[in-house]
Amino acid sequence: YSAKRSASHINFYDSSMSEAAEHKLKLLGDLRHALGLGQLSLFYQPIVRLKDNHMAGAEALLRWHKSPHELLEAADFVPLLEETGLIVTVGNWVVEQACRQLAVWRQQDNDFIISVNISPLQLEHLDFYQQVKSALQHHQLPAEALILEITESALLGHPRQAKQTLKQLRALGVKIVLDDFGTGLSSLSRLGSLPLDGLKIAGEFAEQLQHQKGKRLCQAIVQLSQALELKFVAEGIETEYQNNMVRQMGDGLAQGFFFGYPLHPEQFALAHFDL
Ligand code: C2E
Ligand code: MG
Ligand code: MG
Ligand code: MG
């Protein structure tokens, strides 16, 4: 019985593996055409000032309208875009699209900012600086209105090129923040020498705020950002309790479902600009 059972188990495992591979291949085929078909869009999630709950701006998050009844979140397909290199083309479109939206919303709120996620692959391209500069000029935006979110892995591959590009962008006035801080291979010894303006504290820390140790850990990261003269954004704030906790820790920004879900631009404007 046990031999038979394990044999059928192996069969089941094999077929599900190839199904997963087939699914991925199909998804990839569809993804290649998504941008051209106008199926990609940016949703926006508010970023709020902790001291007074004032909305400072929003993070742009990719969405894929795969079919009329299928909306995929970035987590479901951005890894595929990165694996295939498609993220470079899509990423340039994201920067342009976010700047277009930023110009519109700055007519409602003249100090509104937008934060855009940048893939490590984009930073390796020599023309990335020019792409960003052109998008800002095209929409007559001050560079200070744009924040780029990079990951620690962006500084691993071609660190010299990436650092150089980031320095150029900062010289222009663009702000650079390190996304998901505390979850990666944080080399704390290098943190002081990176061209950065802020840290986005990963949502995992907000999850631990009901415990004493978690609270102190979060406080320590806030203090770390202060020691390095970096701004902080607390991510993944889902409850009023978490909001109160981080507000007591320091003068920074916060983001999460408690303040608002990522929304289509029209819904975002209705919910947050009271139009
Ligand atoms: P991220 O930049 O850390 O974005 C935050 C993710 O957490 C988003 O998922 C957002 O929907 C989700 N989130 C926001 N608030 C909360 C909360 O309170 N609780 C919980 N549990 N989750 C929350 P999403 O949109 O699926 O994005 C996943 C990741 O995909 C992003 O992580 C970012 O690394 C990447 N990504 C998204 N858009 C782009 C893009 O335009 N370009 C690139 N290169 N990457 C992108
Ligand atoms: Mg404002
Ligand atoms: Mg981000
Ligand atoms: Mg993040």
Q: Is the pLDDT of residue 1 over 80?
A: no
The tens digit of pLDDT for each residue in 139-170 reads 999 999 999 999 988 887 778 889 999 999 99
Question: What's the chain look like in SS3?
Answer: CHHHHHHHHHHHHHHHHHHHHHHHHHHHHHHHHHCCCCCEEEEEEEEEECCCCCEEEEEEEEEEEEECCEEEEHHHHHHHHHHHCCHHHHHHHHHHHHHHHHHHHCCCCCCCEEEEECCHHHHHCCCHHHHHHHHHHHCCCCHHHEEEEECHHHHCCCHHHHHHHHHHHHHHCCEEEEEEECCCCCCHHHHCCCCCCEEEECHHHHCCCCCHHHHHHHHHHHHHHHHCCCEEEECCCCCHHHHHHHHHHCCCEEECCCCCCCECHHHHHHHHCCC
Which of 61-70, 190-199, 263-272 is predicted with the least confidence, judged by mean pLDDT?
190-199
What's the confidence (pLDDT) of residue 266? Answer: 97
241: its two tokens: 């309790």
Task: Check residues 7 and 140 and name the one with the higher pLDDT.
Answer: 140
- Ligand 1 atom closest to Cα of residue 63: 25
Task: Give residue 257's pLDDT band: very low, low, confident or very high (50, 70, 90).
Answer: very high
Residue range 195-211, pLDDT digits in tens: 999 999 999 999 999 99
Residues with CB under 6 A from ligand 1: 45, 61-62, 73-75, 78, 87, 91, 94, 117-119, 149, 179-180, 203, 236-238, 256-257, 262
Q: Average per-residue pLDDT in the chain? A: 92
In angstroms, the CA 222 to CA 58 distance is 21
pLDDT at 3: 45
Does residue 5 carry a pLDDT above 50?
no
| Exposure on the CB side of residue 121, measured as CA atoms within 13 A | 15
Whether the pLDDT of residue 11 is over 60: the answer is no
Distance between Cα 104 and ligand 4 center (Å): 25
pLDDT confidence of residue 2? 44
ipTM surpasses cut 0.90: yes
pLDDT at 192: 87
What would the mean pLDDT of 46-53 be, rounded to a whole number? 97
Rounded to an integer, the average pLDDT of 211-237 is 97
108 Cα: distance to centroid of ligand 2 (angstroms):
9
Question: With bands split at pLDDT 50, 70 and 90, how would you rate the model's confidence at 16?
Answer: low
Rounded Cα distance between 275 and 261, Å, is: 18
Q: How confident is the model at residue 4 (pLDDT cuts 50, 70, 90)?
A: very low
pLDDT at 14: 59
Structure tokens at 80: 């595929």
Percentage of the chain modeled with pLDDT above 90: 81
Atom 29 in ligand 1: which residue has the minimum CA distance?
A: 75
pLDDT per residue over 103-142, tens digit each?
999 999 999 999 999 999 999 998 999 999 999 999 999 9
Atom of ligand 1 nearest to the CA of 257: 18
